[in-house]
Amino acid sequence: MLRVALDATSLLGNPTGIGRAVRGALGGLASRDDLELTVYALSWRGRGTLGAVVPPGVAVATRPMAAGVLLRAWQRCPAPPVEWWTGPLDVVHGANFVVPPTRSAAQVVSVWDLTAVRYPQMCTPTSRRYPALVRAALARGAFVHTASRAVADEVIELLGASPERVRVVAPGIPDNPALGAAPPDPGARRYVLALGTVEPRKDLPGLVAAFATVAARHRDVDLRIVGPAGWGEEALAAAIAASPVRERIKRTGWVADTGPLLAGAAALAYPSRYEGFGFPPLEAMQAGVPVVATSAGALPEVLGDAALLVPVGEPQALADALDQVLGQPALAARLVDAGHQRVTRFSWQDMAGGLVSLYHDAVAGLG
């Protein structure tokens, strides 16, 4: 019986992709009978609400943890240890780039991508602190969890991690109870859907540029951009305002229930400049929607031949691929069939099993 503490800070507020991965992992881990699971949050105020968003039976560490103070301390020295908040442990899993130092417990840190190393200009100041925190954890002997082989290779190459201490454990696909919802009125206009937080890494202005070409070729198709506002909102707004087809582009903020949107989409566009995994394309495949994505980061590894992949940062190539999917029903059907097969590779139970294996290796020091 392993005593494991896991950082669930990412569950507070409207969860991003990392939050959704942590929620799914927690569900899988909580269903096992070989763990004593505790969660904590690097949040002074949020600790009081954490118990409401974790699975039943999971213990919650409620002593306050001031994130700013602790991150600065942990970057410089291996103190204070996480056991101050959690009690004795076998493993602590920092599920969002930051793993606390410990008295004796093994340490595991999840690194979802290395945007802050490869493209620091696309990151917020907070995100740019993560590489130093991961390097500090590596110096303490932490094991690394990544969701893809592409990111694992980058952690080894760019952060100097020992290959023996890096493990790839892919997540499942976030549950969406509305998947299978009835599509909209058959007379409604078709649309290309984009899902995700608005940030430079997602290159949504590039999609807006590509859509001008698509719109000229398919006058019955609109573009819907759905997701939380981020620090790329201003650039996206400017791109939409400058588009010759701006009246056919709809920008929607965060939506809790994306099932109906996916059910009605003619295609999902995923124009990212860099990705460590990529939930939205898999969710689209699960919903029976053809996907056009860039060949950024881990996307070729994750999506395989179940999506049309185009070069990064080339709106014309993106437009041509969307044109093919929208104009060739046989191609769209092939992608849908391949997508249904692809998503069977990803499950939360498999993720939980992979993480538990990693925890045992970390405790045994098998790296």
User: How far apart, in whole angstroms, are the C-alpha atoms of residue 364 and residue 367?
Assistant: 9
Residues 6 and 121 in one domain: yes
Same structural domain, 206 and 224: yes
> What pLDDT does residue 272 have?
97
End-to-end Cα, the chain, rounded Å: 21
Average pLDDT over residues 275-290: 96
Number of domains the chain is built from: 2
Q: What is the rounded distance in angstroms from the CA atom of residue 16 to the CA atom of residue 6?
A: 17
In a domain, 273, yes or no: yes
**Mean pLDDT of the region 267-284:** 97
Using pLDDT thresholds of 50, 70 and 90, give the confidence band for residue 89.
very high
Given a cut of 70, is residue 183 above it in pLDDT?
Answer: no
Specify whether 256 is located in the same domain as 282: yes
**Are the beta carbons of 137 and 115 closer than 8 angstroms?**
no
Residue 78: inside a domain: yes
Examine the domain organization and report whether 161 and 113 are in the same domain. yes
Please check whether residues 308 and 329 belong to one and the same domain.
yes
At residue 226, does pLDDT exceed 70? yes
Give the whole-number percent of the chain exceeding pLDDT 70.
96
- Cα 133 to chain centroid distance, Å, stands at 20
Indicate the helix (H) or strand (E) that contains 2: strand 2-7
Please report which confidence band the pLDDT of residue 46 belongs to, taking 50, 70 and 90 as the band edges: low
Query: Are residue 15 and residue 163 in the same domain, yes or no?
Result: yes
Which pLDDT score is estimated for 15?
76
- Looking at the structure, do residues 325 and 211 belong to the same domain, yes or no? yes
pLDDT tens for 11-34 read 998 778 899 999 999 999 999 999
Burial of residue 78 (number of CB atoms within 10 Å: 0-12, 13-18, 19+) = middle
Taking only the tens place, the pLDDT of each residue in 58-67 is: 999 988 898 8
- Range(s) of the domain holding residue 322: 190-343
> Helix (H, G, I), strand (E, B), or coil: what is residue 240?
helix
Q: Note whether residue 334 is domain-resident.
A: yes
Q: How far apart are CA 107 and CA 304, in angstroms?
A: 32
* CATH code: domain of residue 94: 3.40.50.2000
SS3 247: helix
- Residues 105 and 130 both lie in one domain: yes
* 63/143 same-domain check: yes
How many other C-beta atoms are found inside a 10 Å radius of the C-beta of residue 341? 12
- Number of residues assigned to the chain: 367
- The answer to whether residue 123 scores a pLDDT higher than 80 is yes
If you search the block for the tokens 């590489």, which residue do you land on? 131
Residue 177 pLDDT > 90: no
With respect to residue 179, please indicate whether it lies within any of the assigned structural domains: no
Question: Looking at the structure, do residues 331 and 268 belong to the same domain, yes or no?
Answer: yes
- As a whole number of angstroms, the distance between CA 361 and CA 165 comes to 9
Domain-located, residue 331 = yes
Residues 204 and 117 in one domain: no
Nearest by Cα to 261 from 319, 191, 214: 191
Structure confidence at residue 164 (pLDDT) = 96
Are 264 and 297 within one domain? yes
Residue 115 lies in a domain: yes
Answer yes or no: is 183 within a domain.
Answer: no
Residue 121 lies in a domain: yes
